[in-house]
């Protein structure tokens, strides 16, 4: 078969295989706590697929368009919180709530992006960080008791469709997550290979050149921003369904940084990298806790046991090692761990930005 055919057949087979997982009652010891079709395992797999998708939405911004955003979690959180609020606090139906969140997912990034994309590089990164902080603050502030503040509140189950409620229906949620991941992958692939998509990559490479060619980079950046944020919001909705209710954690800066880690772990700006990173990170984050509780680790001297039982410590360290030895992430290991193109280009655009931001005062011309 030709390469092109393989590129379609292989992933398609994978999707089909994944679709059948809830029917497989095989036990994979060490990797999972229960058989594949048990609710616990399906929940974990669903989360992995979900975050594979969400990581890819972030890669669209960072790896493809070269926009370093520290506030991507904000749009995800919008999906999580507004769905929960509409259902539980405003007592809307499921359909209207979804429509409302979808509208928000388009309008908010358009407005916010139009303003924040007027600056680039580090300044843009800071603005996105600040926007996300606003979200975090608003959630804690708990206006009119809607967001629940620091404590989680439970989503009103009655408002959700029956198919998504109850432990026995975890497989439906699993399929939903699978659909989400596949949809995000296809949409991003299509977008990146379309003509606006090529301009995104051109922008990442050399924004000035794009401008000189008469195209307005701002417009295209906004497109990428809105698309990626909308898809993240959709991911937020799915996430809410997978959980019992929203929690403030999704608004934290830590959470966006987690997305960044996922993307770099897998390989920024590559076809499969972000997804792979999202799946792997979610899995590790969940399972490393079990490793830490295992008898082997518990038996170690305290100096080793304490750090090793903390999943985030392991993940943070792993991340540092990846950045050092394989900045191209896992997919980059195939190309011998060289620095990925996306990073090189993001680096030079940041450096150009820095030169502008920290340029010394201009001198008067000669005439002494």
Partner 1 sequence: MSTFVLLTITGLGLGAMYFLIASGLSLIYGLMGVLNFAHGFFLTVGAYGTWWMELHLTGIGSIWLRYMIGAAFGIALGALVAGVVELVLIRPLYQRHIEQVLVTVGLAIAGTALVQAIWGADQRAFVTPPWLNETTDVLGAKVPNDRWLEIATAAVVFVLLQLFLRRTRYGLIIRAGVENRSMVQALGIDVRKAFTLVFAIGGVAAALAGALSNVYFGSVTPERGTSLLIFAFIVVVIGGLGSLGGSAVASVVVGLSQQYANYYGSTGMGEIVVILLLGVVLLVRPRGLAGAVAT
Partner 2 sequence: MSAAVAPAAARPLLAVSDLHVYIGESHVLQGVSFDVPEGGVTALLGRNGVGKTTTIRALLGLTHRRGTVSFDGADISHAPTHRIVRRAIGYVPEDRDVFAGLTVAENLRLAERDAQPRYELVYDLFPRLRERARQRAGTLSGGEQQMLALGRALLNENRLLLVDEPTKGLAPLLVTEVARALERIAELTTVLLVEQNLAVVRRIARDAVVLDQGRVVHVGDAAALLADRDRVHRLLGVSGGGHP
* Residue numbers at the binding site for partner 1 (CB under 8 A): 115-116, 118-119, 122-123, 125-127, 129-131, 133-134, 137-138, 140-141, 253-254, 257, 260-261, 264, 306-307, 309-313, 315-317, 319-320, 323-324, 327, 339, 343, 346-347, 350-351, 354, 357-361
Say which entry of partner 2, partner 1, none residue 367 contacts (CB below 5 to 8 A, set by partner kind).
Answer: partner 2
- Asked if 26 is part of the footprint of partner 2 (rule: CB under 8 A), the reply reads no
Q: In the complex with partner 2, which residue's Cβ is closer, 295 or 362?
A: 362
Q: How many residues can be counted in the chain? A: 368
Q: Binding of partner 2 at residue 367 (CB under 8 A)? A: yes
Nearest to 114 by CA among 356, 106, 269, 215: 106
In which region does residue 66 sit, left (phi positive, over 0), alpha (psi from -120 to 50) or beta (all else)?
Answer: left
Measured from the CB atom, is 126 or 352 closer to partner 2?
Answer: 352
**Does 365 contact partner 2 by CB under 8 A?**
yes
Do 203 and 220 form a contact (C-beta atoms < 8 A)?
yes
User: Residue for token digits 């296809």?
Assistant: 186
Q: At what angle do helices 217-242 and 39-59 cross, to 10 degrees?
A: 170
Q: Which is nearer to partner 1, 37 or 349 (CB)?
A: 349
Q: Which residues contact 41 (CB under 8 A, 6 or more apart)?
A: 32, 33, 34, 35
Helix, strand, coil percentages for the chain (3-state, nearest 5): 75, 0, 25
119 binds, among partner 1, partner 2, none (CB under 5 to 8 A by kind): partner 1
Which residues, in sequence order, are bridge partners of residue 27? 35
> Of these partners, partner 2, partner 1, none, which one is at the site of residue 295 (CB under 5 to 8 Å by kind)?
none
Site for partner 2 in 303-362 (CB under 8 A): 360-362
Nearer to partner 2, 1 or 212 (CB): 212
Please compute Rg for the chain using Cα positions: 22
CB atoms within 10 A of CB 5: 9
CA angle 286, 287, 293 (to 5 degrees): 115
Which of partner 1, partner 2, none interacts with 211 (beta carbon under 5 to 8 A by kind)?
A: none
Q: Which is nearer to partner 2, 110 or 206 (CB)?
A: 206
Of 98 and 257, which CB lies nearer to partner 1 in the complex structure? 257
Q: Buried (b) or exposed (e) across 10-38, using 16+ Cβ within 10 A?
A: eeeeeeeebeebbeeeeeeeeebeeebbb
Tell me the C-alpha distance between 265 and 133, whole Å: 25
Shortest reach from residue 364's CB to partner 2, in Å: 6
- Residue 245 touches which of partner 2, partner 1, none (CB < 5 to 8 A by kind)? none
Residue 323 binds what, of partner 1, partner 2, none (CB under 5 to 8 Å, by partner type)? Answer: partner 1
Residue 360 CB, nearest distance to partner 2 (Å)? 4
Task: Kindly tell me which of 151 and 366 has the beta carbon lying closer to partner 2.
Answer: 366
Cβ 141 to partner 1, closest distance in Å? 4
- Tell me the number of residues near partner 2 by CB under 8 A: 9
Q: Name the binder of 15 from partner 2, partner 1, none, CB < 5-8 A by kind.
A: none
- Let me know: does 259 contact 61? Beta carbons within 8 Å: no
Q: What residues make contact with partner 2 under the rule CB under 8 A?
A: 360-368
């Amino acid at each position: 078969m030709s390469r092109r055919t393989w590129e379609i057949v292989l992933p398609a087979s994978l999707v089909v295989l994944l679709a059948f997982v809830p029917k497989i009652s095989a036990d994979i010891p060490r990797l999972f706590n229960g058989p594949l079709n048990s609710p616990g395992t399906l929940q974990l797999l669903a989360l992995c697929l979900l975050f594979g998708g969400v990581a890819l939405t972030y890669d669209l911004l960072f790896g493809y368009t070269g926009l370093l955003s520290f506030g991507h979690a904000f749009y995800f959180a919008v999906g999580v919180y507004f769905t929960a609020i509409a259902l539980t606090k405003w007592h809307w139906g499921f359909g209207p709530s979804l429509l409302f969140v979808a509208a928000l997912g388009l309008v908010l990034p358009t407005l916010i992006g139009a303003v924040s994309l007027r600056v680039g590089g580090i300044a843009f990164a800071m603005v996105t960080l600040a926007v996300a902080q606003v979200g975090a603050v608003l959630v804690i502030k708990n206006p009119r008791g809607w967001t629940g503040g620091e404590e989680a509140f439970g989503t009103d189950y009655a408002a959700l469709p029956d198919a998504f409620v109850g432990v026995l229906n975890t497989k439906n949620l699993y399929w939903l997550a699978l659909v989400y991941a596949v949809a995000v992958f296809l949409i991003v692939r299509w977008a990146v290979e379309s003509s606006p998509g090529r301009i995104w990559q051109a922008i990442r490479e050399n924004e000035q050149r794009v401008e000189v060619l008469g195209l307005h980079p701002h417009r295209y950046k906004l497109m990428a921003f809105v698309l990626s944020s909308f898809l993240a919001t959709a991911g937020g909705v799915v996430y809410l369904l997978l959980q019992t209710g929203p929690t403030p954690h999704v608004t934290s800066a830590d959470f966006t940084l987690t997305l960044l880690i996922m993307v770099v772990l897998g390989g920024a700006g590559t076809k499969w990298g972000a997804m792979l990173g999202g799946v792997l990170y979610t899995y590790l984050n969940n399972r490393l806790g079990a490793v830490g509780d295992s008898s082997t680790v518990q038996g170690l001297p305290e100096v080793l046991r304490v750090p090793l039982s903390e999943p985030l410590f392991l993940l943070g360290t792993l991340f540092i090692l990846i950045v050092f030895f394989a900045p191209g992430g896992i997919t980059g290991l195939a190309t011998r761990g060289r620095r990925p193109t996306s990073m090189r280009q993001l680096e030079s655009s940041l450096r150009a930005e820095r030169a502008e931001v920290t340029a010394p005062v201009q001198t008067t011309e000669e005439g002494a």
